[in-house]
A and B are shown apart, each in its own frame.
Chain A
Amino acid sequence: MDMDSFELGDLANPRCYTEPLDIGGCDPVLLRAQLRMMLLIRRVEEKIGDMLAAQKIPTPCHLGIGQEAIAVGVSEYLRPTDRVFGAHRSHAHFLALGGEVTALMAEILGRDAGCSRGMGGSMHLWGGSVGFFGSVPIVAGTVPLAVGAALAAKKDGESAVAVVYLGDGAAEEGSIHESLNLAAVWKLPVLFVCENNLFSSHMHISLRQPSNRVARYAEAHCIQAATVDGNDLVVVSRTSDDMVAAMRDGGGPRFLEVVTYRWRGHVGYREDNDVGVNRSTDLTLWKRRDPIRRLVDALTMAGGWDNHAFHAMDEAVKTEVEKAWQQAETAPYPPASALLDRVYAERH
């Protein structure tokens, strides 16, 4: 697209970018691993959706079904020593780094075996061992924290980077602009990944911003930015690989805007076709721009892959998800002492 444009153009048009991905030059083994991760994320979130519908999960859950290619693509070239921060819709960000499904499920159920030891739920995930430094539901809350993690990385001098996922709504918060400015003026290795799914809760971006291309804010802060199809795993992987490599070499911050669409409502399991804006026509079209189906089609066209292989993978993933859910459901709650013991590092 024309990067001088303030508009997303075809990237926001669900009738475009629906064809199988261009996987020329890609490693087929890596692609299949990435496909499996996307599928795992989707089946996990579908399971969570089902359990929300069955009222087995009280905590608010924000599902990112339809957006799986972003976390999988961005995480591919990250290391456990990097520092990744999420937001309210971060199941995928946690899982794509290698966070355990059982730990996520147990967290959502408020169990001690959860990734945040049952204290955070869906909206406060933590995975220190895989480089997931935390997610929070205060919109843009982690963005300055990631800038600080990048500052720490720069002080360490060991080429680690920080990554923060934010949404198009977060771009409307003042802290984003302070953070972009700090990252730029101090040349910090932080990758801002803006998942532009065109909606903040029920509000379409056209009702919130004079332009629908969020990367313009980064450019205004002299940060190199790219706006790409967030439902194209290959493009997301390649672009973030280039950006992270430049950051490791001291190139300063980067801003990656990935255009996508969430299939469910802002929060909960429903598709929310009637919340504020009628999304049903667009949603039907966006489901044809499915990041998983487009990769499956590309693999099939390339040969050595077929429906049978896909279903075998899918069945294995579903079994893994079911098993994780059952383990989580039977895990114990945190002890009552956790209520006070975890407020401070040291009891007073």
Chain B
Amino acid sequence: MQSGIDMARVNYGSAIREAFVYLLDRYPKVFVIGQGLWAKWYVGNSMTDLDKFYGTERIMDSPVSELACTGAAVGASLCGYRPIVVHPRMDFMLYAMDAIVNQAAKWSHMVGGQAHPAVTIRGIINRGGEQGAQHSQALHAWFAHIPGLRVVMPATPQDARDLLIASVLCDDPVLYLDDRWLYELEEDLPPVVECPLEQEGSRVVSRGDDVTLVGAGYSAWLCREAAAALQQRSISAEVIDLRVLNPLDVSTVIQSVEKTGRLCVVDGSWSSCGLAGEVIARVSETLSPRKLLGAPVRITLPDAPAPTSGFLEKLYYPTLDTIMETVARLVIREGVHAKAVD
């Protein structure tokens, strides 16, 4: 860490709250709307007591109306406001698909760039704990498919804070997707420096030579943990955190695979037509097969809804062990000392 900068240790959930505080303090046109905002347990520690500090007119707990609340936020954004819609569980957000996909995503284009819905839609991925099929979904790939939306998935406390600020200050509609499995993750944070969202993209978060590991959100965290553990086995993994899924920029992945010759993409959602497949496709379109030392692999959910039974849940989600075994097979099968052809 750099010296001379005030650092503060916070976890992912409270980093999100810091972003809200930062925005609400400085930008009077920011308001927040969604279900559970006046309750203590809907959104973990990520919004605690904001209603008490900023008032219930800026922190608006809402009726059970995902579509109208999201649509209203889109409408308010067309009138100069910068609303943040909070969906404490992404599954319920599906009621709001028209407002997100038909309206917000299309608005700028279909009115000739004369109006932009500067709305941020926060969807929380909240799964595990035997919550079952309708309380577990990570549907980031759906939104990454839609031109006109921006999609961000923070994997670290700093990104949880800084990407939320960048999302809200961006003139485009942004899906900000955070993950309850990361809320306890801690990091020392420097003071906020505002950065335009359109300049943010994927990032190499640890260097390595043998294999490129790619993920977003919680999967990026898994990749980092796996890379650290793989070092014990003398496998050097380079980890790339995608951070922004739409517009998706995989240039860092391509550069990395050019070096390592091996690619493993981890995604905590389904395989078919998903994020992992998209990353692999783009790398395959760009890199000559001669650069690859093995076929790219993806680690995703099985193509089934989330189970409720804890026994089945353990089989369902990608784990550190799965990633390490897969990577070890990829590297050892192809020979750890083999080098890509220039």
Residue B190 at the chain A interface, CB threshold 8 Å: no
Contact between B75 and A119, CB atoms less than 8 A apart: no
Q: Is the CB of A155 within 8 A of B57?
A: yes
A-B contact pairs, 9 of them (CB 8 A): A116-B110, A151-B75, A156-B79, A162-B75, A174-B67, A175-B98, A179-B71, A344-B108, A344-B148
Contact with B along A304-348 (1 / 0, CB 8 A): 000000000000000000000000000000100010011111111
Whether a CB of chain B sits under 8 angstroms from the CB of A293 is no
CA distance A174 to B71 in the complex (A): 13
Is B102 an interface residue, CB under 8 A from the partner?
yes
Contact A152–B80 (Cβ < 8 Å): yes
Q: How far is the CA of A175 from the CA of B112 in the complex (A)?
A: 26
Q: A144 on the interface (CB 8 Å rule)?
A: yes
Report the stretch among A35-43, A128-136, A199-207, A251-259 that lies at the interface: A128-136
Most A CB contacts (10 A, CB to CB) among B67, B77, B110 go to B110
Are A152 and B114 closer than 8 Å at their CB atoms? Answer: no
User: A117, B63: Cβ atoms under 8 Å?
Assistant: no
Complex CA gap A155/B81 in Å reads: 10
Chain B interface (Cβ within 8 Å of chain A)? 31, 57, 62-63, 65, 67-81, 83, 98-99, 102-103, 107-116, 118, 147-148, 150, 170-172, 196, 198, 247, 249
Q: Is B112's CB under 8 angstroms from A118's CB?
A: yes
Assembled-state Cα–Cα distance A234/B63 (Å): 38
10 closest residue pairs by CB, A with B: A117-B112, A144-B71, A148-B75, A148-B72, A178-B68, A145-B75, A345-B171, A152-B79, A178-B65, A126-B111
Q: B110 near A120 (CB under 8 angstroms)? A: yes
Min C-beta distance of B232 to chain A, whole Å: 39
Chain A residue with minimal CB distance to B116? Answer: A345
Q: Chain A contacts of B111 at CB under 8 A?
A: 116-117, 119-120, 124, 126, 134
Q: Which residues of B contact A342 (CB under 8 A)?
A: 108-109, 112-113
Q: From the candidates A142, A149, A151, A182, name the one contacting B65 in the complex (CB within 8 A).
A: A182
Determine if B80 and A117 form an interchain contact, defined as CB atoms under 8 angstroms apart. no
The answer to whether B172 touches A116, judged by C-beta atoms less than 8 angstroms apart, is: no
The residues of B that contact A174 with a CB separation of less than 8 Å are 67
Which parts of A55-93 form the interface with B (CB within 8 Å)?
A: 83, 85
Q: How far is the CA of A177 from the CA of B107 in the complex (A)?
A: 23
Chain B min CB distance to A118 (Å): 7
Residues of chain B lying within 8 A (CB to CB) of residue A136: 102-103, 110
The answer, yes or no, to whether A21 is at the interface (CB within 8 Å) is no
Contact A175 B71 (CB under 8 A): yes
Q: Which residues of B contact A152 (CB under 8 A)?
A: 75-76, 79-81
Which residues of chain A have C-beta atoms less than 8 A from B57's C-beta?
155
The residue in chain A whose Cβ has the minimal distance to the Cβ of B81 is A152
B210 → chain A, closest Cβ, in Å? 31
Chain B residue at smallest Cβ distance from A126:
B111
In the assembled complex, the CB of A135 is this many whole angstroms from the nearest CB of chain B, namely 10
Cβ–Cβ < 8 Å partners of B73 in chain A: 148
Whether, in the assembled complex, A114 has its beta carbon less than 8 Å from a beta carbon of chain B, the answer is yes
Residue among A114, A145, A162, A338 with most chain B CB within 10 A: A145
Any chain B CB within 8 A of the CB of A292? no
Which one of B76, B196, B247 has the highest number of Cβ atoms from chain A below 10 Å of its Cβ?
B76
A151 touching B72, Cβ below 8 Å: yes
Contact of B112 among A147, A150, A338, A348 (CB under 8 A): A338
- The interface residues of chain B lying within 8 Å CB-to-CB of A85 are 75
CA distance A181 to B171 in the complex (A): 29
Residue of A nearest to B201 (CB): A348
Q: Would A138 and B98 be within 8 Å (CB), given that A178-B68, A182-B68, A338-B112 are in contact?
A: yes
Closest to B101 in A: A138
- Min distance, Cβ B216 to any Cβ of chain A, angstroms: 17
A226: chain B residues at CB < 8 Å are none
Partner of A175, one of B67, B172, B198: B67
Residues of A within 8 A of B81 (CB): 152, 155
- Measured CB to CB, the nearest residue on chain A to B99 is A144
Q: Which residue of B lies closest to A346 (CB)?
A: B198
Q: How far is the CA of A155 from the CA of B32 in the complex (A)?
A: 13
A133 to B80 CA separation, bound complex (whole angstroms):
12
A149 near B78 with CB under 8 A, answer yes
A-chain residues with CB within 8 Å of residue B71 when the two chains form the complex: 141, 143-145, 147-148, 175, 179
Residue of A nearest to B31 (CB): A155
Q: Which of B63, B81, B114 has most chain A Cβ within 10 Å?
A: B114
Tell whether, in the assembled complex, residue A145 and residue B31 are in contact, meaning their CB atoms are under 8 Å apart.
no
B39 CB, min distance to chain A CBs, angstroms: 18
A3 interfacial by beta-carbon distance below 8 Å: no
Q: Which of A117, A141, A146 contacts B98 (CB 8 A)?
A: A141
Whether B109 and A119, one on each chain, are in contact in the complex, defined by CB atoms closer than 8 angstroms, is yes
Whether the Cβ atoms of B63 and A134 lie closer than 8 Å is no
Query: In the assembly, what is the distance between CA of A156 and CA of B28, in Å?
Result: 11
Are A141's CB and B102's CB within 8 A?
yes
List, in ascending order, chain B residues with CB within 8 A of A334's CB: 112
- CB of B249, distance to nearest CB on chain A (Å): 8
Which residue of A128, A153, A156, A345 is within 8 Å of B108 (Cβ)? A345
User: When chains A and B are docked, how far (Å) is the Cα of A85 from the Cα of B116?
Assistant: 15
Interface membership of A185, Cβ < 8 A: yes
Interface core residue of B75, B79, B112, B114 (most chain A CB under 10 Å): B75
User: Using Cβ atoms and an 8 Å threshold, which residues of chain A touch B70?
Assistant: 144
Please give the distance in Å from A46's CB to the nearest CB on chain B.
26
Provide the bound-state CA to CA distance between A240 and B247, in Å.
Answer: 44
CB pair A138 B76 closer than 8 Å: no
Structural contact, B115 and A182, CB atoms closer than 8 A: no
A124-B110, A148-B77 given; 14 more Cβ-contact pairs under 8 Å: A116-B112, A117-B113, A117-B114, A126-B111, A126-B112, A141-B98, A142-B103, A144-B68, A144-B71, A145-B71, A145-B72, A152-B75, A175-B67, A179-B68
